[in-house]
Amino acid sequence: MKRFDARITALRSVATGYRELRYEWPADLPPPSPGRFFTVRAGGRYDPVLRRPFAFSAWSPGGAGEPAEASFIFQVRGRGTRYLAELDTGDTIDVLGPLGTGFGKPRRGSRPVLVAGGIGLGPMLYLANALSIDARDGLCEAPVLALGFRTASLIPDVAMPEGTVICTDDGSAGYRGTVTGWLEGYDPGAPPYLYACGPSAMMAAVGAMAAARRAPYEAALEQWMACGVGACAGCAVRLRTGQYIKACVDGPVYDGNLVDWGAML
């Protein structure tokens, strides 16, 4: 973990309202694993005060004189992300990371089923790519990545791993319906190991299915954060046990079967 000023190496639009930003990764930091995140100062000296958290969507080692690069995909929502969207290649961003606890490995022989919607795209892409390698190495079955969109024009222009399932609410591409609708009818052919990141309603629906099928479920949650390092207790998430744990260090990935989805909605 480190705070550093990172040079932006690429910033491009990948879909309506979505950008991919790549920046130089310091040589003395280890690569971030899928599900981990960083925070960035997204504005001037004062405003906003809170750093904005984003999950990694890719990491490349560089080499041959080229620096390593980290990437993330973000949706332009409010002033912080608007600020980021207006930066240029060569500008610097103030990064604090890598933070948090990422995704765990699926059980041997199980089928990783990755479900993403909206801003969950980035971390799920990163995880799907990592698990494809694990599958090649025989550590799990080939992962399936299911992505949900309102309509075809929102499908991002990014490389997707083989076997990605696209769902659109209006049927303009791929499966017609929600990604959870698709999941309902899907036969994984092996014990499923569920991963999800996206809107709370989607996460909760996947949670219900996981509970019904008694499947392991790792859920990456979005929660307001202040420090990002476990110092402020601002990002607390309530578990079914009534206990609060910190999204920034214990998360952002949780055992979805322990999350109190009712309290999240």
Ligand X SMILES: Cc1cc2nc3c(=O)[nH]c(=O)nc-3n(C[C@H](O)[C@H](O)[C@H](O)COP(=O)(O)OP(=O)(O)OC[C@H]3O[C@@H](n4cnc5c(N)ncnc54)[C@H](O)[C@@H]3O)c2cc1C
Tell me which residues touch ligand FMN (CB under 6 A). 226, 232, 234
Task: Name which position in 48, 177, 181, 199 contacts other proteins (CB under 8 A).
Answer: 48
Site for ligand FES in 79-108 (CB under 6 A): none
Q: Show the binding pattern over residues 92-131: x = contacts ligand X (CB under 6 A), - = does not.
A: ---------------------------x--xx--------
Beta strands in 79-151 (DSSP E): 92-99, 111-117, 144-149
Distance CA 191, CA 254 (A): 20
Per-position x/- string for 196-225, each x denoting binding to ligand FES as judged by CB under 6 A, each - no binding: -----------------------------x
Three-state DSSP at 69 gives strand
Residue 223 lies near other proteins (rule: CB under 8 A): yes
Per CB under 8 A, 1 contacts other proteins: yes
Map tokens 């399932």 to a residue: 165
Closer residue to ligand X in complex, CB, 122/161: 122
Q: Which residue has the tokens 């899928």?
A: 34
Answer yes or no whether residue 49 interacts with a copy of itself by CB under 8 A: no
Q: Which of 191, 234, 257, 258 binds other proteins (CB under 8 A)?
A: 234
Interface residue with ligand X, options 21, 222, 227, 254 (CB under 6 A):
222
Between CA 226 and CA 72 the distance in angstroms is 20
Q: Which is nearer to ligand X, 19 or 111 (CB)?
A: 19
- What is the C-alpha to C-alpha distance for residues 136 and 149, in angstroms, rounded to an integer? 29
φ, ψ of residue 251 in degrees (nearest 5): -110, -160
Residues in CB range of 248: below 8 A, 6 or more apart: 53, 99, 100, 225, 227, 228, 229, 230, 235
Q: Is 37 in the site for ligand X (CB under 6 A)?
A: yes
Neighbours of 136 (CB within 10 A): 9
232 binds ligand FES, rule: CB under 6 A: yes
Closest CA to 178 of 170, 167, 188: 167
What are the structure tokens assigned to 109, written together?
Answer: 């022989």
- Can you tell me which of 77, 79, 213, 240 binds a copy of itself, judged by CB under 8 A? 79
Query: Residue for token digits 């991963």?
Result: 195
- Does 231 interact with other proteins (rule: CB under 8 A)? yes
Residue 35, phi-psi category: left (phi > 0), alpha (psi -120 to 50), beta (remainder): left
Selected range binding ligand FES among 12-20, 185-193, 231-239, 255-263, rule: CB under 6 A = 231-239
DSSP state of 109: T
Q: Which of 27, 28, 30, 45 lies at the binding interface for a copy of itself (CB under 8 A)?
A: 45
The answer to the question of residue 8 lying near a copy of itself (CB under 8 A) is no
Q: Kindly list the residues in this chain that would bind ligand FES in the complex (CB under 6 A).
A: 225-228, 230-235, 246-248
Q: Kindly list the residues in this chain that would bind other proteins in the complex (CB under 8 A).
A: 1-3, 41, 45-51, 94, 96, 223-238, 242-244, 263
